[in-house]
Structure 1
Amino acid sequence: METLRNVLKKQKGVKYLGKHDAPNRFKKFGIKKRYIDKHSKAAVREKNAVASDALKKGGEENRPDADTRMLPVSDLTAEKAAAETVATEKLLAETADAEPVATEEPAEGTAAAEAVVTAEPVEETAAAEEAAAETVAEEPVMTEEPVEETVAAEAVVTEEPVEETVAAEPATTEEPAEEAAAAEPATTEEAAEETAAAEPATTEEPVEETAAAEPAMTEEAAEVSRAPGTAGLRSGRAQKRRAGRILLVLVIILAVLGAGGFALNQVVLNADTFQSGSSINGIDVSGLTQAEAVEKLTDEWNKKTLTITEKDKKIGAIRNFDLEYDINQQVKECLHPSFFRKLLRTVRPSKRSYTIAMTAKESSRSFNRQFRGLSFVKNNKYTTKTRNAYVDLTSSDFKIVKEVYGDNLDKSKLKKALLSAIARNKMRFSYTAADYYEKPTVLSDSETLKERQAYAEKYLTKKITITGAGKKYTIKPAQLDKMISVSKSGEITVDEKSVKTFVKSVADRFTTVGMTRHLKLKGGKVTISGGNYGNTLNITKETTRLSRVLAEGKDATTEAVFSMTGYGSSSSVTDDIGDFYVEVSISKQHVWCVKDGKTVVSADVVTGNVKEGNGTPEGVFSLMYKQSPSTLEGRNNDGSSYKTPVKYWMPFYAGCGFHDAKWRDSFGGSIYLRNGSHGCVNMPPAKAARLYSYVEAGMPVIVHP
C-alpha cells in the first residue's frame, strides 16, 4: 500500500514536514485545528469500536490488521483514518498522476502543479484543503512502521464553507517549505529528517506550490469525509457533559444538606439544655442542663412521701428521704439520645417526655432513722428465729444440723423493697409480713454442706496442744478452721492474722503477770494482785511457731514461747513465786528474805510517806537489778531536787527499791505515816548489806498491806 508520504514526495515542490511544523501546515491548508481534532477523534473512536467488535468475535478472519488496531482517542495517529483509506488513496492516486515528482527545478514543479488545477468549484477545493489539513493535524503514535503510518494520517475531506477556509489561510512567509513540513507530523525526528532530505527547497511562490500539492477533490473523497458515527459520538459527549453537570449539582446538594444536618445536630439536637416542653418522670426540665436536671429531680423526688399499708390500712410512712440517686447517666441519655430520636423530638414535642428509674445509691441517715422507727419494724416479735443449716464442729462426728424457718423480719429485704418502690415512683407500698420473713440461705441437703463435712473430718481433727507454765491447751476444730484453709490439691494455707488473734485469746491462760494470787507468806495469808512479775507469753514468737506447726497438718504438742518467766515451779500457774522471794509488809513495816523456804534476812524498815502521797506500791514485782554504790536522784514535794548517795541500791519498780538509810536513827513502827520515804524501802545499813548479798535480778518482790 502506497503511503501518503510517498505520494507527496512524488508531487512537485511539495515537502513532507515534521510534527513541529504542523500548525503551519494547518494554516497553509486553511483548516481550523479545532475542527480537525473534533472529526479526527470521532474517527478514532469509531475505528476503536470496530476493532473491539472484531476482537470479541475472534478468529483470524475477523482479527483487525495493523492498519485497523485500536488506538487511544487522545493519540491523534495516522491509523485513525483506516476506515477512509481506500477513498483517500484513490484521491491521492489521481493527484499523483496529474503531478510530476518534485525536482530541483522549482519553476517546472510549479508549472506542473498548476496544470493539475482544474475548474473545480471553489467550495470543493476549499473542502479538499481542509481535509488535508485535518489529516496532517493528527499526531501519529510511535509504531514499528512510522513512515507507513503517516499515510493513514491524511484527513477526511469534509465540506466546509468557503468563508471558514479563507479565514484559516495563514500569511505567506519567506520559508514556505518549513511551513508545509509542519503540516505533516513526523513519527520520529529521524522521519522528519528523511522527508526533508528527499524534497528540494520550495520557490518564492509558496501559494502556487501549495496549490499544486493539494489533491483534487472528488465526490468519493467527500463521501469518505462523512465518517459514520460522528453524530453519535457528538451526542455521547453531550450526554457525558450533561451527566457531569447533574453529578456536580447532586454533590452540591448533598454538601448543603450535610452542612445543614451538622448545624442542626450541633445547634438543636446537641444542645446542652433540654428543649422547651421536656419533662422527666413528670417533672419539667425545660431549659435545664444535665447537672441542673439531676439536682431538680433529686430535690423534687425527696419531697415525696412513701405510704406503707397493710390490708389497706396505713401502718407507717417515710418522707423527706434525703436520698442521693444514681441518675446521671440516665439524664444524659435523655438529653443526648440517638440522632433519629433527637430529630423526632425536634419535630414532635410529645417525644420530649421521659421516664427513668430513681435508683438510690444507698440509704441515707434520714431514711434509716425513719425505717427503724416504723412500729412494725421496731416492735417486731417472733416465735422462732430463722437459722441456716451448718456442720457442727463441736460434735465428734461433725454432723449436719438442719435449717430452721422462723418468723423473724428480714429488715434488709424490706428496706430494699421500699427503696425499689421509691425508684419506680410507687409511693403507696402494700406490706405483707409473711413476704418479709427471713429465710434460710443454706439448706441441709446442699452439696456445699456435704463437702464441708468431709473437709472437717479430714483436716479439722488434728490434735495440736500448747503447753507452758504448768498448763496445756488443745486447739479446738472451730478454732483450727479459722486459722487454716486447704486447696483442692490438699495444700494447707495458714492465715497468720487469725493465728495471732488465737494466741492473744489464750495468752491469759499462760500469763501470770498482774494476776490475783492467794499466798501464804511469813507475814501471814495474803491476797495480792498487780505488779509486773510472772510468766508472759511472747505473742509474736508464739504466732510464728504455731503457724509453722499448723502448716505441717499433723498432730503436735508444743511448748509455748514466753518473754518472761517466774522463779516458781513451771508445773503450777498459781505457784510461780516458788521458795525464793522478798516479802514487804506495809502494815508491819518489816522485810523478810526467804531462800529455799528459810528466812535469811529479817529487818524493820520505813516505807513511803503515806501523808505526802508517796506510799510504796503494792503488788508482785520482779527485782530489776542491784548496784553498789549508787546515787539516788529525785524531787521533794516542795519541788526542790535532791541527790542522795547510798551504798546499796536494789530497785524493783520504777524509782522504788531497797537501799541503806544511814541518816535514820530508827526503823519500823508508824514512822512511815508522817516521815516516810519518797516510796523506797529504807533499811538499816547492815541489813541492807546482807539483803544485797542474797537478792538476784528477776526474783519476786511481794509488797502487800
Structure 2
Amino acid sequence: MSARSKQEKKKGGVGKVLLILLAVVSIIAIGVYIAGVIYFQQHFFYRTTVGNTDVSFMDVDTSVNTLNNATNTYKIKITAPGDKVYEVKGKDISMSLASNAKATVEKEIKSQNVFTWPLSLIQPEHKEIKVEYSDSKLHKQLEDLLSLTKDPVNATITINDDNYKVVEAKYGADTAAVQKEIDDAINHQNYQLTLNTANFTAPEITSNSEQITNAVKKIESYLKSTVSYTIGSSKKVMDKASVLKVLSISDTYDVTVDDTKLQAYVEELASNFNTYGKVRTFRTQAGDDIQIGGGDYGYILDKDSEFTQLKSDLESGKMVERQPMWSQTAQGTLENDIGDTYVELDYTNQVMYYVLHGERVFTSDIVSGNINMGSGSPDGVFRIKYRVTNTSLKGTDYDGSEYDSPVNYFIVFAYNIGFHDAPWQPWFGGNRYTYAGSHGCINLPNDSAAYMNANVPNDIAVVAYYRYPVNLTGTANANSNAYSYHG
C-alpha cells in the first residue's frame, strides 16, 4: 500500500471518530435539553428571582417556603431628604405572602416557555408576587415621616423644667405620594429606597441655621449667670432650671429675660425668703416648744430692688454671690431667723430672759400690760428698734387723767411699746399685771432696765408670748401686728 493510501485511510478514520463524537455530544445535548424541558415544567428557570429572592431551580413548595422566609427577614432602608434614614423590618409590619401566593407561583412556573429554558443561562428572569402587610403598623414605624404636614416646620427651641432643647426642623411633604413610593418599594421587596425630593419642601430654618446657633449661645450665656444668695450661714442658689424659667424666645429667635416671668420668680423668692410675721416653733427657756407668730420681725425682700438687680446679674453672664436685696433683715438664718441672741418675754410667768449666743445670761421679773383693762402687752416676734434715756412717758390713764412718768431708760420693741424702769411699781412678777399692769409697756426694776440699756443691742429679736389664749385689743396691738390681736 502506498504512502498516499495510508494517509487517506488515516484521515478517514479521524473523520469517523469526529462524527461519532459529534453524534454522542448531540445525543447528550438533546437529552439534557429534553430533561430541562421536563424539569422546568415544575421548576423555575435558572437565574429567576421573585422580588429580590433567588428561586432558581425551585419547585412550587420550595419557592413558597423560601419566599415566606424572605418576608420574615425582609427589611428596607428608606432615605428621606435631610439625611433622615428609616428602617422597616417585615416582621414589624406583619409582612407575609398574599393568600394566593402558591397559586401565583404555580401560574408563574407554568407560564414559562420550557422550550427556551437554555436562554435562562444568559438571560435572567424576574417575577412579582404580591405581599401583604399592616398599613397601621407601617405608619407607626414611619410615624415621623408619614405624619409630616404639607408645609415645612422650622427648627425651634423649647424650654422645659430643667433644660432646653433644639427641636429639629421638619420637611413639608406630599404624604400620599411618599406613602405610594414606600408601598411600591415594599411590594417589590426592594431593600433600599431613596425618596423623591420632589415630594418634599425644605424648611427655611434648620438646627444649623444662624438664628438657632445664636439663640443657643445666648441661652448658654444666661446659664453661666448663676446667682448664689448668702443669708446668714445658709445659701440659696438660682440654679439652671430657675434661670431657664425666666427666659423667653421670640418668633425671631431673640432670647431675653422675660419681665413677667422674672417678676413671678421674684415673688417666689419673696415667699421663700420672707419670714416677717410667720408662725415659728420656739423653744422657751422653760424647755417647752410654743407656736408664736405675728410681730414685725423677720426678713423682708425688697422685690423691686431684687428684680432690677437680678435682671442685671443674669444679663452679665457671670457667677454672682450676694445678699438678697432686703428691705428688712433678721439676725439668724431663714430656717431660724431669731438666731441665738434674743430677748424672751414670758407674759404668763411675768419673766424676761436675755439669751446671748444660746446661753441665758440675764433674768428679770417684769410687770406687763394690764390684761384685764384691755392693755395687754403685744405678743409676737419683734426687734429692738431704738432706745432713749432720761425721758418721760406721757398718756391717758384708765381713769381719764393724764400721766407723765419720768424714766431713766426706754427701749422700744413694738410700735410705741418698750422696756423701761418703773419706780412706781412696788414689786415685779407674779400676777400683778392682771390688776396693776402697765398700759402695754414692760415695767422693769431700775437695775434690770440699766442692764438692758447697757448690754442688749438694737435689732435683736424680742420673742413675747402668753401661755394661754388672750384677746388683745387697742391701737398698740393693732399697729404692732400682735399675734393675739383680734380687733
TM-score, normalization: structure 2?
Answer: 0.49
TM, length-normalised to structure 1: 0.35
Q: Greater helix share, 1 or 2?
A: 1
Structure showing greater radius of gyration is: 1
Q: Which structure has more RCO (C-alpha within 8 Å, separation ≥ 6)?
A: 2
